[in-house]
Amino acid sequence: MSILIDENTKIIVQGITGRDGSFHTGQMLEYGAKIVGGVTPGKGGQETRGLPVFNSVQEARDAVGCDATVIYVPAKFAKGAVQEAIDAEIPLIICITEGVPVNDMVGLYHQVKAKGLTLIGPNCPGLISPGKSKIGIMPGSICIPGKIGVISRSGTLTYEIVHALTGMGIGQSTCVGIGGDPIVGSNFRDILALFEADPETDAVVLVGEIGGDEEEQTAAYIKENISKPCFAYIVGASAPEGKRMGHAGAIVSGNAGTAESKQKAFAEAGVPGAKTIDEVAEMVAAKFN
């Protein structure tokens, strides 16, 4: 089984005629994703990669129906693109775009929650249910179907850890990149709840990083609400205080947001912590192989 997406998920692509949108549409189609159309304002009526292009999300949904949308547009247009998807009440919205202003996300976040929709991102690689479907930019070649869920704030590290799991014959149910910005549509706890309810996910790997207190809150949530084994890997142990490291949300301020505080929180919640990428796979293998 999987969470959020499977082989029947009908997807539209916002920004489908742009460079990134067109390229990744091709990659998703090649993997087997069920893309039914795309959106580029002003280019409605055209076709790209054999798919119809519409002027608006609502027009696309009315014409072809969809369960999900993925957004590949420049940062200055991302707020409008997500807003369109919210207004059309698309159940699953994935925003790949990096550099979306925090102030733009605040209002969008609350609208998504109020309408009961799911937003993944922004500044994320999307998600993949191996052997079924993928939405976003994750490389499908490194994934194999299985029963380990993966949730990560870091796109590249997601790939590295999934590759390590696959190399040891450990398959994944769904891999979700939630994004590395200070405000994202879905956090670790939101996705953990879905994995907890999925009968075919046996355990979850969490990839965290410095900045904020998301991992500390997640550790407390796991202690009270999650029965399945979890494993954690926290990036940024050597990061200097006050310096942003890659992601907008990856910044340490005083004792808050440090790798040490996050590792300690997970340890107190009974979640084993790995020090290297390979060690993550080794810990999971020791538990399930």
Residue 269 belongs to a domain: yes
- Domain range enclosing 79: 10-120
Q: Which of 120, 148, 170 delimits the end of a domain?
A: 120
For residue 212, what pLDDT is reported?
A: 82
Co-location of 112 and 145 in the same domain: no
For residue 211, what pLDDT is reported?
A: 79
**Residue carrying structure tokens 């979700």:** 176
Averages of pLDDT over runs of 10 residues in the chain (289 residues) are 94 97 98 98 96 98 97 98 98 97 96 98 97 97 98 91 96 96 96 98 94 91 98 75 49 63 94 94 91
Co-location of 90 and 152 in the same domain: no
Residue 19 belongs to a domain: yes
For residue 238, what pLDDT is reported?
A: 52
Q: What is the CATH number of the domain that holds 91?
A: 3.40.50.720
Please identify every residue annotated as catalytic. Answer: 247
CA gap 129, 93 in Å, rounded: 16
CA gap 122, 178 in Å, rounded: 8
Q: Contact 253/241 with Cβ under 8 angstroms?
A: yes
Number of domains making up the chain = 2
Co-location of 110 and 153 in the same domain: no
Co-location of 199 and 114 in the same domain: no
Q: What is the CATH number of the domain that holds 180?
A: 3.40.50.261
How remote is the C-alpha of 183 from its chain's centroid?
A: 13
Per-residue pLDDT of 212-253, as tens digits, reads 889 999 999 999 999 999 999 998 665 555 555 454 444 444
For residue 248, what pLDDT is reported?
A: 46
Co-location of 107 and 53 in the same domain: yes
Residue 93 belongs to a domain: yes
Q: Please, what sign has the CA dihedral across residues 252, 255, 260, 264?
A: negative
For residue 87, what pLDDT is reported?
A: 98
160: nearest Cα among 142, 135, 181: 142
Q: 93: which 2 tokens?
A: 């919205």
Co-location of 72 and 185 in the same domain: no
